[in-house]
């Protein structure tokens, strides 16, 4: 499975941005999809994930501001980011893991199998 993240950029605080992760290879509908981020000098952290059946989970810091979605026909997983804050500045990575319908959402970096190359999001104050 190859993942390609896109949509990053430079925005002002309060703005919105939509990231997209395109998958190729494998069977997309059998993947759990996730987004992580890594700020300078910090460890990569969980942002959001969506199960095969559409269940979602979010980090507390982005709840009510970010929304993850998936389109199995297009083989994409998007992250809609609203009301962006300077502390959201980071390189955002999409990730995937083969899953069954009952697989719980994993929030640890080491639990995820496939990674995209990352896209930079910079939020100015």
Q: How confident is the model at residue 103 (pLDDT cuts 50, 70, 90)?
A: confident
CB 81 within 8 A of CB 14: no
> What would the DSSP string read from start to end of 34-98?
EEEEE-TTS--EEEEEE-TTS-EEE-TTTTTTEEEEEETTTTEEEEEE-S--GGG-EEEEEEEEE
Q: How high is the pLDDT of residue 101? A: 85
- Chain length of the chain: 125
Tokens of 122: 């910079």
- Examine the pLDDT at 90 and tell me if it is beyond 90: yes
Q: Give the model confidence (pLDDT) of 2-53 as tens digits.
A: 999 999 999 999 999 999 999 999 899 999 999 999 999 999 999 999 999 9
């Amino acid at each position: 499975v190859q993942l390609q993240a896109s949509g990053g950029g430079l925005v002002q605080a309060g703005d919105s941005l939509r990231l997209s992760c395109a998958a190729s290879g494998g069977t997309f509908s059998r993947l759990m999809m996730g987004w992580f981020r890594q700020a300078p000098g910090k460890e990569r952290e969980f942002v959001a994930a969506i199960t095969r059946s559409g269940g979602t989970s979010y980090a507390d810091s982005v709840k009510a501001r970010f929304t993850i979605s998936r389109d199995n026909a297009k083989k994409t997983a998007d992250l809609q980011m609203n009301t962006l804050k300077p502390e959201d500045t980071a390189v955002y990575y999409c990730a995937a893991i083969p899953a069954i319908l009952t697989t719980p959402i994993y929030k640890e970096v080491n639990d995820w199998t496939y990674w995209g190359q990352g896209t930079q999001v910079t939020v100015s104050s």
